[in-house]
Amino acid sequence: MASVVRKGRIESERWQRLDEVRLAALCAGAEAPALAAESVVLIPLGLWLVQRARLACLALRSAVLLNAEDDPSPLLPHLGAVSRIAVHFARFADGRGYSLARVLRQRHGYRGELRAIGDVLRDQLFYLGRVGFDAFELRSDQDPHAGLAALADFSASYQGCSDQPAPLFRRRAA
């Protein structure tokens, strides 16, 4: 059973991916009421940029979907108005999403939810948490309790990062 580790708890709500046909129907206003009851809908960045005004009018909870190769620059001016972003990991060993998260959080000050989806495994969770993800949709075979525990694999870290911008040496001095 696929689960989500979010803000120190295990939850069940996963964000929905729709195929292109349903996304088009959604933007045309046909699907929104039904979907709204279900869960948050992932809107790929390209579509979100084009349709964001229309999406805003729908009674719908949505999240911007970023892939590792996406250039987030066109999203940056709207970051303050976005409350949910998902970064999709096609392969857990693709590290681009880590820098993307850090850039969104620390360089551009994104404060909403940042969720890791896709090939998300417990052994990467500690680092993902540090770079700025605060929710993790684990791959369906993963044990959510183990995932939750993995967020505490280390009790200290040397470097500053999104979770704690001050490196250890600044905190040690304090």
Partner 1 sequence: MYVYDAIDQRMVDERVAQYRDQTRRYLAKQLTDDEFRPLRLQNGLYIQRHAPMLRVAVPYGMLNSRQLRKLADIARRYDRGYGHFSTRQNLQLNWPRLEQVPDILAELAGVQMHAIQTSGNCIRNITTDHFAGIAPDELVDPLVWCELLRQWAALHPEFAYLPRKFKIGVSGSPADRAATLIHDIGLQAQRSDDGAIGFRVLAGGGLGRTPILGQVVREFLPWQHLLTYLEAILRVYNRYGRRDNIWRARIKFLLRAKGLEAFRAEVEDEWHWSKDGPGTLTGAEVERVSRRFTRPVYRRLPDSGELHRQLAASRAFALWHERNVHAHRVSGYRAVTLSLKRRGVAPGDVSAAEMDAIADLAERYGCGEVRVSHEQNIVLADVAAARLHALWLEARALGLATPNVGLLTNIIACPGGDFCSLANARSIPIAADIQRRFEDLDYLFDIGELDLNISGCMNSCGHHHIGHIGILGVDKQGSEFYQVSIGGAQGAHAALGKVIGPAFSADEVGPAVECLIECYLARRDSDAERFIDTVRRIGLEPFKEHVYGKRRSQGTHRVRALATA
* Residue at 141: amino acid letter: D
Distance CA 169, CA 117 (A): 33
Among 24, 25, 60, 103, binds partner 1 (CB under 8 A): 103
Q: Which is nearer to partner 1, 140 or 155 (CB)?
A: 155
Please report, for residues 42, 67, 72, the alpha-carbon distance to residue 95 in angstroms, rounded to integers and kept in the order given: 21, 12, 16
Strands 41-44 and 62-67, how do they pair?
A: parallel
* Residue at 72: amino acid letter: P
Instruction: Phi first, then psi: give them for residue 20, nearest 5 degrees.
Output: -65, -35
Q: What is the DSSP letter of 140?
A: T
Q: Which is nearer to partner 1, 49 or 168 (CB)?
A: 168
**Residue 7 within binding range of partner 1, rule CB under 8 A:** no
**Residue 1 within binding range of partner 1, rule CB under 8 A:** no
Write the interaction track for partner 1 spanning residues 130-169; mark x where CB under 8 A is met and - where it is not: xx---------------------xxxxxxxxx---xxxxx
* Helix or strand (DSSP H, E) at 6: strand 4-6
**Residue 92 within binding range of partner 1, rule CB under 8 A:** yes
Contact 16, 39 (CB under 8 A): yes
Q: Which is nearer to partner 1, 22 or 126 (CB)?
A: 126
Length of the chain: 174
* Residue at 131: amino acid letter: V
Write the interaction track for partner 1 spanning residues 35-74; mark x where CB under 8 A is met and - where it is not: ----------------------------------------
Q: Judged by CB under 8 A, which stretch of 17-25, 33-41, 48-56, 126-134 contacts partner 1?
A: 126-134
Task: Point out which residues bind partner 1 (CB under 8 A).
Answer: 92-96, 98-100, 102-103, 106-107, 121, 123-124, 126-128, 130-131, 153-161, 165-170, 172-173
